[in-house]
Every structure is written in C-alpha cells, then in structure tokens.
Structure 1
Amino acid sequence: MKQTLKILIVDDNEVDRMAFRDALTKAGVQMELFEVSDGNDAFSALSTTAYDCVFFDYRLPDQHGLTFIQQLRSSKIKVPSVVLTAQGDEQITVQLIKAGATDYLSKSKISPEMLVQVLRSAIRIYWAETQAALVNQQLKESHEQLIHKNQELERQQQQIQMQNFKLLEVSQLKSHFLATMSHELRTPMNAIIGFSQILFRSKFGQLTYQQADMVERILNNGKHLLMLVNEVLDFSRLEAGRLDLKGEMFDISKVINLAVGEMRSLADAKNLSLLVQTDLQNTLVFNDPVRLKQILINLLSNAIKFTESGQIWVEVKELSASRVTIVVRDTGIGIAPRDFKCIFEAFRQIDQTITRKYPGTGLGLAIIDSLVRMMGGKIFLDSTLGSGSMFKIELPRQITLLSTEAADARDVQLDGDDIFSRAKNPHHSFFQTR
C-alpha cells in the first residue's frame, strides 16, 4: 500500500489504541490515523470526512457495535469497517458481517502482518462490493429503461394497429366506392355505345360524312371509356376478393387467336406485325377463358401502345405435361430495370405526369398479376430500355378453383393427366362426368 490511507480507530481503551497504532507503524503503512473513543464521535467524524477504513471496538461505551453498524447503514455512510473483538467474542461476528461490517479481527491476534492483511482485504472487499452494487444499479436502471421502452413500443404498436384498422377501413370504403361507381357508370356507357351503333344503321336514315365521323368518335370514345371503367371494376373486385374464376375446358389456341384477332386492327393501324406461334401437343386446358383472354388483350394492348415500329410476337409452349407458358414480346420502348419492381403496382405508370404520352389507368398489369396469381401461375418480365419487352406467363393446365364454385366444378373436372389423355381420344366426350 503505497498511497496514504485515512484510517479511523474507534476504541475507548487507550492501551488498545496504542497497540493498534504501533502495529500499523511497524507494518510500514503510510497513513493518517484518527482516533475517537465512542460511537457518537465516530459517527460525527464519518459524517464529515471520507476514510479509507474504520476499525471499531465491538464493545463501545455508548453503544453496541451492531447498533453502530446499523446506524452507519441507515445513514448511507459507506466505508470499509473492521470489528475489533475480544477473546471469546468471535461468535457474534456473523451478525456483524450480516449487518454490514466488512471483516473482523481479534485484538489478541493483532500483529503488523495480520493487520496489513486484514486492512488490504477489507479495502478490496469493500471496493468489490461497491463495484458489484454499481453494476447491479446499472442493471436495474437498464431493466427499468427496457421496461419503459417495451411499454413505449407496445403503445406505438397499438397506435400502428389502430392506424392499420383505419387504413383497412378506408381501403374497403375505396374499393366499395370504386365498385359502386364503376357499376353505375357502365349503364349509361352501354347506352351511349348502343345508341351510337343504332345511328349507323341505314333504316334510321343515311348520315352525312361529318355526322358519321362524329358518331364514330362517340362510339370509339365510349368503348374506350367503358374499357377503363371495366378495368377499375375488375380491380376493385380483385382487391375486395370478390372476383371468382369460372373454370371450364377449352382450346387455349382458339382463345389466343381470338384475342390476337381483336387486337390486330390496332396493330395494323401502327403498321406493326403481329405474329402468333403455338407449339402445343395438347391445346386443351381447364381455366377461365374470359379472364385468360383479358390477360392476353391487356398484354397485347400494352405491347401495341408502347411499340412505334417493328413486331409483336405471341408464343405458346409447353413447359411440362401439366404447365404451359405464354410469351408476349415487342420491339417497343422497353422498361428500365429500376422500374421493374413497381411496374405491377396499381395506378402506377412509369410516366406519372399529366402530360404523359401514353394514357391509361395504370391498372392493366396490376390486374394481370392478380389474375395470374389466382390461376396459380407466375409472371416474369425481361426488358431492355429502347429494345423492347418480354412478358412470360407460366400457368398450370388445370387451375384450382378457390371460390364456392369449386365444389360444383369437381363433378366435371377429371383428375391429373388422365383428363388430358382422355382428350386425345376423339370418341371420348370431354365433358362426360365420372
């Protein structure tokens, strides 16, 4: 111990204090030694001065040693304390240690070596206990902070849940509004289209060139507006989970050719080549022909819209006995890789400005993606900006109906590959029930 220690000795026996002082001196302890004769003076000294260690007699004239320790503890005075006991008092040291004393030393065993050892041990124990108490306090504070943070997180989570409920309610209201408005708009739009077509009939009189041009514009714009309304209606049904697939057996090549035939006039108007290639050993599939045609028309419409010159290809191939793939390629403007992740989002277009060159609702690809997933298929995009795009759809030959009509459809569906092997037999009725 090289540093100077402040040591307090509390004992009413002058001879014992002298023996204690001589032992410390002979041990070579660098110290400032302070002496008092009773507990009250010791308590006053410890209240005003910080000591490195205090040695006190168990039998003080004004109070018991246990009382002295308890008084220090209740006053939150922390100091290494060693109890000096007389011969035969060793049995009471357990109580003193439990009360807060650091160590004890029998007066009969006081020697320079023993005193240094006890002094060093008391200081080390005291600092170890102090550090342990500090760590425990820090752990307690950390635990309280964690509890507070957990409570705050729970409160934030409740707020997020409430906001999610509100957003869900708003989304449901929006979907309901879109479905209602779309349905209400279809009635007058169908009337406009119907009356426009009636005006072209010769029995109602021959129209002048100018009148025919205006009626044709009304008809074409009415059809275009009805298409947009139908897109919004389909999307709202998909979002609300109210659009069901109506499965039936059909020739997929006929549906593809029908969709291509409806879009060929638009391609011809832009001098675009529209080619179809079918490579199927078995062209029969069980799917929803109306929704499959809708997917093809949306893909072809986009290809024609974003292609100024060149070609558009539609390819149908077999992936396996149970899956087919439909590919639509174009030589259009292409899509940048950074836009791939948002191209299938609803109401999203690459050009979001009101002065954009290519009009539309931004729902076509979102509807395609939802329908393909409902059919148990996948859609893939490969595109290079300025060189064209390729949309590939992989579909099962036989979809699984998730709606209530699934039970009814089971009566006419055949299981697995057996349905397609029977289709190859021209004498077998394909819609024959089991």
Structure 2
Amino acid sequence: MEETLKILVVDADEIDRMAVRSALTKAGVQMELSEVSDGNHAFSALSTTAYDCVFLNYHLLNQDALTLIQQLRSSEIKVPLIVLTDQRDEEIAVQLLKAGATDYLSKSRISPENLTQVLRSAIRVYRAEMQAALATQQLRETHEQLIRKNQELERQQQCIQMQNFNLLEASKLKSDFLATMSHELRTPMNAIIGFSQILLRPKFTQLTHQQADMIERILNNGKHLLMLVNEVLDFSKLEAGRLDLKAEIFDLSKVINLAVGELRSLADAKNLSLFVQTDLQNTLVFNDPIRIKQILMNLLSNAIKFTESGEIWVEVKELAENRVVIQVGDTGIGIAPINFKRIFEAFRQVDQTITRKYPGTGLGLAIIDSLVRMMGGKIFLESKLGIGSMFKIELPRQITLSNVATNAPASQLDADGVFCSAKNHHSSFQASKASIGYPKFKL
C-alpha cells in the first residue's frame, strides 16, 4: 500500500502486539502504528483520533471485544475492526460480525501475507460502506429537498390558481363594464348624430356656411365616436362569448359594393384610387351580411388610413372546396414582419405612443380575426414596408352555425402559415396587383 495508514493495535499481550507489528512491517505497509492494552484506552483513542484500521484482540482486560465493538458502534465511531481470535474463539465470529466487526483472523494464521490481505479487504469494505452511506444520506437529503420543493410548488400552484380565478373575475367584470358603458354611450351618440343630420337638411332651417360646417364636423366626429364605441361593444361581446352570427342568404358583391361606396369619399379626400373586381360565378353566400360588411369596412378604413398615395383595391374570387376569398390591398406604409402577429392582438397597435400619427382603439383587426374564425375562415397577410399590404380573408360559401365557436383560441397566424414570408412578398404582391388588372371600374 502506497498510502500511510494509521493503525491501532488493542491487545493486553505484548507478544501478540509485537506479532502484528512485525507482520505489517515485513509486508511493507506504510503506517503509523499505535498500541493500547485495554478497551478503555482504545475507546479514548478512537474517540479523539481517526484511524484507518484497528486490530482488536478478542480477550481484553476486564472486557471482551464484543462489548467494546458494541460500545464503539453505539457511539457512532466508525472504523474498520479486525478481531484477532484464538482458534477456539472462531465459533463466535458470527456474533462479532453482527455486532459491527469488519473481519476476524485467528492468531495462529498471522503472517505478513494473511494480515495484509485482511487489512486491504477490511479497508476496502469499510470505504465502500462509507461511500454507500454517503450516497444514501445524499439521496435522503435530496428526497427531503424534493418534498419541500413539491410542497412549495403546490403552494405556488394554489396561489396561481387563485390569481387566475381573480384575473378571470376581473376580466369578466371589465367585459361587463365595457359592454354596459358602450351600450349606454350609444344612445346619446345616436341622438347627437340624428339631430345633426336633421339640422343639415335644407328644408329644416337656413344655415350659414360656417354653421353648416360646424354641424358637419359634429356629425362626422359623432359617427367616428360611435364607430369606436361599437368596436368596444363588439369586442366585449366577443370576449364574453355573447356575439352571435345572424346568417342569411345574400349577394356578396352587393354588400362589398355598399361598403366600398360608403368609404369612397374618404379615399377621394386623399386622392386615392379605389378599385373593385368581383369574379364570382355565383354571388350568393350564406353568412352574416352585417358582419361581412363590418370586416370589409374595417379593412378598407385601415387601408385608407395607412395609405398616403396610390391605390386601394378589393378583389373577390372563387376558391376550391366551395370557398371564396376577399382581398383588400393597398400601396400604403406596409407592416414589418415582426408586427404581423402583434397587430391582431386586442388593443395592440404598431405605434403605442399617445402622440402616434394614426389614431384608433386597436380593436379592429382583433375583431376581424375573431369574426373570421367564427365563420370558419382564415386570415392571410402579405406586407412589406414602403410597398403596401394585402389582407386575404378565406371563407366558406356557406357557414355552419352549429360549428360557430365564439370562444375559440386565437389564430396561430404565424405558425399555421397564415402570414406569407416577407422575403417572398414582393413578387406575390406585384402578381396580386397584376391579376386584378387596371384600370378598374369605379362604383
């Protein structure tokens, strides 16, 4: 053995101690050897000094090895113990091993080879036991830590569940509040709009140009405010799952032309060209005409708002599997790819500052997304900064009301391929414009 071992020999017989010392020396064991003659001195030495191994004579003064071993083990003193027995004492070897002895050896067999072999084996077994005990202790501590962590996780989960419950309750209260306030605001707004329209009738009263201009502004701002209120009301209904589609058979081209006609003045005010092309063999669909018009009005309003010059166009055409697609394109400011998904989030706008150039609630596209999903359709967006945007709405020609899911999860617009890749946008965008063909007829 290369390492220096601290060895204790416990034996009242000097000759026996000398035999052990001689055998270890002849075996070439590197050691620091200590000797004591009785159990009390042995216990005291082992209590204060760490030994690598103890050779213990079974017969001690006023005590036997079995008693000393039990005393050592009960005091949590752990050290390899090799009991040296007389030949007639080998019958009690089992008792010694059960009490905590590591091994035993008959004095008649003491030799450098035998003693070294027993010493190596005892130390190896002891160290293996210590490693196993350490591993067991570590496992026990890890198990206790896991129990504590599980308890903490359970506590946190309960807190999260309570927070979720409170959030759901707060969200419901917020939705109810928005619905109530929106409903209450519509009544006075309708009155303002109605009286403004009456005042603008020539036969009702004679107004100066300045008075007519002021009332016109009241009317326009009232309509705008009513539109914002309606958006909030629709969103609160969608969020609460209380908005229902009222489907009927109607002429899709007429609804589209009606929506375009209502917004044409806004496009003309900005000198924007507004074109429409309908390519449907059958223009009849089964859907909610009011919501279809609302979708189109929102898309066209956004296109006009974010386009400073150029064109806006609407295209309607057939798709396979009894579906139709409505496309609204513009040559406006465009949308960066990073904002493709964000713009469909409620109350989210690309520019969130209070000094933003383009006003609005940020609910328009969120409402469109929800309505399209209720109809069993999909939204596709192609856009590039500085070139323009195109929103494509794919819808079934006949919606199934039994499958309407007002509380369906939000569309995974980017994961499901709803958005086209920005790097492929330019060619597809130009191809879409070319497919429409210019000039178009104006309504």
Cα offset, 1:201, TM superposition: 3.1
Distance in 1 between the 2:271 and 2:326 partners? 24
Task: Show the counterpart of 1:182.
Answer: 182
Task: Tell me which moved more, 180-189 or 105-114.
Answer: 105-114
Task: Tell me which moved more, 366-375 or 14-23.
Answer: 14-23
Distance in 2 between the 1:338 and 1:123 partners? 67
Distance in 1 between the 2:322 and 2:304 partners? 31
Task: Show the counterpart of 1:424.
Answer: none
CA contact (8 A) 1:245 1:403 kept: no
Structure 2 gaps, min length 5: 407-443
CA contact (8 A) 2:69 2:99 kept: yes
Cα offset, 1:294, TM superposition: 0.4
Change (3 A) 1:21 1:358: closer
Percent identity reads 82
Cα offset, 1:93, TM superposition: 2.5
TM-score by structure 2 length? 0.87
Q: Which amino acid aligns with 2:270?
A: K
Distance in 2 between the 1:261 and 1:228 partners? 20
Task: Show the counterpart of 1:421.
Answer: none
Cα offset, 1:241, TM superposition: 1.0
Q: Which amino acid aligns with 1:58?
A: Y
Note the 1:185-334 alignment, pairs <5 A: 185-334=185-334
Runs (4 or more) in structure 1 with deviation over 4 Å come to 402-406
Note the 1:88-237 alignment, pairs <5 A: 88-237=88-237
Task: Show the counterpart of 2:335.
Answer: 335
TM-score by structure 1 length? 0.88
Task: Show the counterpart of 2:431.
Answer: none
Task: Show the counterpart of 1:376.
Answer: 376
Task: Show the counterpart of 1:425.
Answer: none
Query: 1:255-303 deviations in whole A, cap 9, x for unaligned?
Result: 2122112111211222211111122223222211111110000000000
Task: Tell me which moved more, 348-357 or 378-387.
Answer: 348-357
Task: Show the counterpart of 1:12.
Answer: 12
Cα offset, 1:403, TM superposition: 8.1
Cα offset, 1:96, TM superposition: 2.6
Task: Show the counterpart of 1:53.
Answer: 53
Task: Show the counterpart of 2:78.
Answer: 78
Q: Which amino acid aligns with 1:365?
A: L
CA contact (8 A) 2:375 2:404 kept: no
**SS at structure 2 position matched to 1:376:** coil
CA contact (8 A) 1:244 1:403 kept: no
Is 1:34 matched with 2:25?
A: no
Cα offset, 1:163, TM superposition: 1.9
Q: How many residues align?
A: 406
Distance in 2 between the 1:248 and 1:138 partners? 71
Structure 1 gaps, min length 5: 407-434
RMSD: 2.0
Query: 1:158-201 deviations in whole A, cap 9, x for unaligned?
Result: 22222222222221111111110000000011111111122233
Change (3 A) 1:96 1:221: same
Task: Show the counterpart of 2:409.
Answer: none
Change (3 A) 1:404 1:271: closer
Change (3 A) 1:17 1:226: same
Cα offset, 1:322, TM superposition: 2.3
Change (3 A) 1:10 1:405: closer
Task: Show the counterpart of 1:347.
Answer: 347
